[in-house]
Amino acid sequence: MNTNRGRVCPVERAGSLDNVFRRLLQNPLKILAPYIQEGIVALDVGCGPGFFTLTMAQLVGSTGRVIGVDLQEGMLEKIRRKIRETEFENRIALHKCEGNSIGVAEQVDFVLLFYMVHEVPNKDEFFTEIARLLKPTGKVLIVEPPFHVSKAAFESTLRTAEKAGFKHSRGPRILLSKTSILQRGQ
Ligand SMILES: C[S@@+](CC[C@H](N)C(=O)[O-])C[C@H]1O[C@@H](n2cnc3c(N)ncnc32)[C@H](O)[C@@H]1O
């Protein structure tokens, strides 16, 4: 069951997530290049219309793969249209998930959670699933927006991630954002 109704960014707002102004403020290549190497498997949870997903596919190269996951079929359809008949078509797998489960079977090297965790109602279950999906050496980049997510709410999210077995460290500087890097604890 989708328990997120009313909390998620609607498909009608996809244009505000992928446009030239955002590209100037939050350059996907600059943000992601330090975390994504050729050949890895990268997961974009809450990928929306694919602002970061396509750059992830560029960075993993022809030997890597990207899994884009979203609750909303309409968001995935926007990515499908963008990659049709491009080199990314075979590199990006798209998966529609349910609100209470990401539902990806394989373990991945890198997870991107960009502007989506505040939309997840049960963060305990969510981070437990992310911990299961991440390879022992993998990393998670979590980025939350400044206005909907207070400092206290972001710290609470990081505590929830800790309970799921993650340690966290300072993330990169990204305009208009709160960030952290999660790695599995020992
Ligand atoms: C604000 S948008 C951000 C999209 C993209 N990450 C970006 O930064 O452009 C949040 C997206 O997360 C998706 N979402 C929300 N909760 C989710 C969940 N539990 N699992 C997967 N996707 C989710 C929404 O459908 C929406 O497309």
CATH numbers and ranges of domains, the chain: 11-184 (3.40.50.150)
Ligand 1 centroid–CA 68 distance in Å is: 10
pLDDT of residue 60: 98
* Ligand 1 pocket: which of 11, 16, 23, 71 to mutate (most atoms within 8 A of CB): 71
Which protein residue has the closest C-alpha to ligand 1 atom 14?
A: 46
**pLDDT string in tens for the chain (186-residue length):** 344 545 899 999 999 999 999 999 999 999 999 999 999 999 999 999 999 999 999 999 999 999 999 999 999 999 999 999 999 999 999 999 998 899 999 999 999 999 999 999 999 999 999 999 999 999 999 999 988 899 999 999 999 999 999 999 999 999 989 999 999 986
17 lines ligand 1 (CB under 6 A): yes
How many residues comprise the chain? 186
Ligand 1 contact, 72 CB (< 6 A): yes
> What pLDDT score was predicted for residue 99?
84
List helix spans (H) across the chain.
Answer: 20-25, 28-32, 53-60, 73-83, 123-133, 151-163
pLDDT for res 186: 66
Question: What are 25-28's contacts with CB under 8 Å, separation 24+?
Answer: 25/175, 25/176, 26/174, 26/175, 26/176, 26/177, 28/52, 28/54, 28/55
**Residue 62 Cα to ligand 1 middle (Å):** 26
